Structure 1
């Protein structure tokens, strides 16, 4: 099983016990504000999403990690890699993304987890390039993206929700482990 430890976090595959806390995260309108159309998701939606994330692990050799706090064992959210098929103009590509419960914001967890994921992508999985996609105005995500050393590559519009997006990228030669 693929696991990554950082000083404060365990990035790991999903357990059955993760469903309820991840559903709580997905039910928070503050968390979901910048995701798709901003709608919250219920337990059933979350269960379906976790199944899809696990399938991507099986199909691609990467996916979204559950992020657990080492000190308490709490599920803080997720970070990981996915194929951004919803945005055909950037394909082929692999994107790093994250989502954390609002009680875990402002503590550097997203940056710590995303950096470990980026290192995993470029060094362990042998990817040459990784992107991240953010909605314009999502300054918290933009801050994490800057800390990863990613640079803006293009602006576009979400093909379904029509909100403006910014695509950032980094390649193996630019990454600082």
Structure 2
């Protein structure tokens, strides 16, 4: 089983017990306004997300991790890698993304988890490039991307959700 420990977090594969806490995160409209079409997701949709993430692990050798707090065992959210299907500017490339419950914002967890994920990408999976997108209005995610050393590479418009995106990338052969 693939696991990564950071000073405060455990990044791991998904367990059955993660469905309800992740669905609670997905039900928060403030959290989800930055994800997909911005709509909260149901328990069933959350189960589909976890199933798709686990399938990607099996097919690609990487995927989206569950993010657990080491101190309490509480599920804080998700972070990981996936092959992007949209927008066209990053389609087919490996992208990093995350979502954390609102109570976990502003504590450095997203940066810590994303940094560990990039280290996993280069050291364990041998990837040489990772991309990301965030809504142009999402300054918190842009700050995390900046902390990771990712560079702005352009702009895009999401084809399905019709919002403006900033496109980021990083050459992991030089990642520190």
Q: Normalising TM by the smaller chain, what interval?
A: over 0.9
Q: Name the structure 2 match of 1:54.
A: 54
Per-residue CA distance 1:71-104 (angstroms, 9 max, x = gap): 0000000000001112233233101110000000
Q: Name the structure 1 match of 2:89.
A: 89
Q: Name the structure 1 match of 2:124.
A: 124
CA distance in 2, matches of 1:121, 1:28: 29
Please state if 1:168 is matched with 2:168: yes
Could you tell me whether the CA contact under 8 Å between 2:53 and 2:64 is conserved in 1? yes
Kindly report which structure 2 residues correspond to 1:153-164, keeping only aligned pairs within 5 A, or say none. 153-164=153-164
Per-residue CA distance 1:116-147 (angstroms, 9 max, x = gap): 00010011100010011101010110010000
TM-score normalised by structure 1 residue count: 0.97
Residue ranges of structure 2 left out of the alignment (5+ in a row): none
CA distance in 1, matches of 2:91, 2:102: 31
How many residue pairs were aligned? 176
Following superposition, which runs of at least 4 residues in structure 1 exceed 6 angstroms of deviation?
none
CA distance in 2, matches of 1:99, 1:37: 14
Q: Name the structure 2 match of 1:150.
A: 150
Could you tell me whether the CA contact under 8 Å between 2:89 and 2:156 is conserved in 1? no
Per-residue CA distance 1:53-79 (angstroms, 9 max, x = gap): 000000000000000000000000000
